[in-house]
Amino acid sequence: MLTLEAALPWVREGQLISADELAIIIPGSHDFRTSLKKEILHIPCKDKDSRPVILQATMLQIGDASLLAARH
């Protein structure tokens, strides 16, 4: 999991770096212009007070083996 600022170099590079399943999770919904596959996720989590919450995040695939839903 990376912040948007930390993930931007990977987005700009737009290259797969592994033959395995590998992805970056970026909190929030982001519409990047990149050749990398991406998907918006909704991840069950807990907040600082241990209450259940749903985290919206963008998964950016940087490995060759797919982690994305079958529709991609």
Q: What is the pLDDT of residues 41-60, one digit of tens each?
A: 999 999 999 999 999 999 99
User: 3-10: long-range contacts at Cβ-Cβ below 8 A with a sequence spacing of 24 or more?
Assistant: 3/27, 4/28, 4/30, 7/60, 10/36, 10/60, 10/62
List the domain boundaries for the chain: 4-65
Task: Give the C-alpha separation, 49 to 57, whole Å.
Answer: 20
Please give the structure tokens belonging to residue 12: 């700009």
Model confidence, pTM: 0.81
Q: Which pLDDT band, with edges at 50, 70 and 90, does 72 fall under? A: very low
Residue that is written with structure tokens 């931007």 in the block: 8
Mean pLDDT (the chain, rounded): 90
Mean pLDDT of 31-48: 92
Please give the structure tokens belonging to residue 6: 């930390």
